[in-house]
Chain A
Amino acid sequence: MHAGLNHYLTVSVLLFCLGFLGVITRRNLVVIYMGLELMLNAANLALVAFSRFNANLNGQVMVFFTITVAAAEVAVGLALIVALYRKRGTAHVEDLATLKL
């Protein structure tokens, strides 16, 4: 069977939904962050697939931008989570309750 655009898009949407599900159901900040990365990579897959099937290279160039931005986000994000872990001794979202009414 030949894999067409719709196959790639289905995988991409599934990945995006799985990532989002991970973000909203998981309780550990690092795992939430992995879900976020999954969502970003789902977008990358969609971009590459569209780029291939529409014969327009701009989509592949855009993936480079996304990867760069995601790398910067991960670098800052992990540093923040580590700083929080050192201060608090935990990386669970239930413990992020200092700021409330």
Chain B
Amino acid sequence: MNHSLITTEILVILLGLGVLLADLWIRPESRPALGWLAASLLGCILALSLGALTPHDGSAFGGMYVLDGLARYFKGFFLLAGILVILMTVEFRHRLPVGLSEFFALTLFALAGMLFAASANDFILMFVSLELITVTFFVLNSFQRARLPSLEAGVKYLILGGVASAFMIFGIALIFGSANTTNFSLVAAQQAQLAANPVFLTGLMLVLVGLGFKIAAFPFHLWAPDVYQGSPAPATAFLSVGSKAAGFVLLLRVLFGAVPQITSQWQVLLMVTAAITILYGSLCALPQRNFKRLLGYSSIANAGYLLLGVAAESRTGSSAVLYYLGGYFFTVLAIFTVLCSLSSTIDNDEISALNGLGRRSPFLAAALSIGLVSLAGIPPMVGFFGKFQLLAAVLEAARLAPAFYVLLGVAVVGVVLSLYYYFNVIRAMYWGDAPAGVSLIEVSAPARIALLVCLAGVLYLGIAPGGLLRLADGAVAGLKFSPAHAPSVVTAAH
């Protein structure tokens, strides 16, 4: 047994408990300082976890928990996301009249769930860590209890999240019954027999339903627009970055760690899901007038792009997924930091409320534009290179299965549609008329730092993608891709 591997998670949970306790003794006006303290301590944990804290890879708790390249990549990702979300929450405090410290603590608990999810090598740990994330988000999404939209978002997430967990646990029960184990590695060892077992395949499908809910893939995306619109902006940001990435790391682990052979028979299913998700997200985003709702549909479309890399079922595809998530992270957090900075002066999330932002705050407008341009996938931003990597993986897969050319076409259509709705927002900022009698918008120092970090990430990773790409490629080295998947695709397509 090797319990020292989970030191990072333990430290994050202790920090969360510490924040809850400290709230009892500090004065209400010093709560933002508690946030800065929590963010800086999280920074220390991030710096330590990269090296000194857990120097060796390994597994613990009877193979339930693994620490490998993939887990390390995502742990770094989640910790950085946690830091930026806490800074964002401090910026958003005018809209959270009660319970600011609890918001920090809940963010930290959700973060602990994500850290466990990155290391899950067993269906039980997968379920428990996903539930830790989901139940925490029930509270985070409905945190503005006095606002009806926030409560409504929380209740919708509660019901649909509950259904997704019920499907997942029933699927795990069937998998346990047919494989007599819940460990990914032990399942992988007997997948040749399991591939013909209908009970196991049903169970696996139900587990994929639960994961599809987490990443907001069609047809389990219904919650995303409403929840994105109603939730407080920092919770939405964490949902779109952390919760989605947790879903994807588990998807990669299940599909390419536990059942690579069955995955290769299900390639068509993944391709169809990716295509419909891209088209649905892009088409529904077109008529939106609420900016956060637009971002909800955009996150559905982005889940579709990420699924392209999963459907390619190759090392290139999976490393492209990791790279794209890294770029998406900086882009989305930049956009939400701008929204949080605006929260004290602008009281709604309509796109028309951004009219004339280019004159009221050139810095925020420029930051939001760079974020949107990156989401749209225009060089030299990171969004362009991420999409380029994903499409390169699709092209590579197309040499084995020509159906991938259709997928390529769908992705290009999605990108073209996205240009329209992202540039609509930029048009409002620079060419819209500012309402009369409004002043310049001040940006606080922490928000400025968070924004500069995100923008530096967006530009640097777009111009010099090599480092992150090598990191992503090394992280997916442990995944197994069934080499002879071409014939099964042909038979499945006919």
**Which chain A residues have a beta carbon within 8 Å of chain B's beta carbons?**
9, 12, 16, 19-20, 23, 29, 32-33, 36, 39-40, 42-44, 46-47, 49-51, 54, 56, 58-59, 62, 65-66, 69, 72-73, 76-77, 80-81, 83-84, 87-88, 96, 98-99, 101
Contacts and interface: CB of A to CB of B under 8 A. Distances in A.
B159 A23 contact: yes
Interface of B: 124, 127-128, 131, 135, 138-139, 142, 145-146, 148-149, 151-156, 158-159, 162-163, 165-167, 169-170, 172-174, 176-177, 180-182, 225-226, 229-230, 287-289, 293
A32 to B, nearest CB: 6
B170 A43 contact: yes
Nearest to B134: A73
A84 B170 contact: no
Contacts of B180: 54, 56
Contact of A96 (B142, B155, B177): B155
Contact of B139 (A44, A49, A76): A76
Contacts of A39: 163, 166-167, 170
B165 A80 contact: no
Nearest to B225: A99
A25 B252 CA distance: 34
Interface of B is mostly: helix
A81 B155 contact: yes
Contact of A43 (B159, B169, B229, B288): B169
Contacts of B148: 87-88, 98
B170 A42 contact: yes
B152 A23 contact: no
A47 B149 contact: no
Given A42-B170, A43-B169, A80-B158, A23 B163 contact: yes
20 contacts: A12-B173, A29-B155, A32-B159, A33-B162, A39-B167, A39-B170, A51-B176, A62-B124, A66-B169, A69-B165, A72-B135, A73-B131, A73-B138, A80-B151, A84-B152, A87-B145, A98-B230, A99-B225, A99-B226, A101-B289
B229 A99 contact: yes
A84 B169 CA distance: 28
B255 to A, nearest CB: 22
Contact of B152 (A19, A59, A99): A99
A50 B155 contact: no
Contacts of A58: 176, 181-182
Contact of B138 (A42, A76, A84, A96): A76
Contacts of A99: 149, 152-153, 156, 225-226, 229-230, 293
Contacts of B131: 69, 72-73
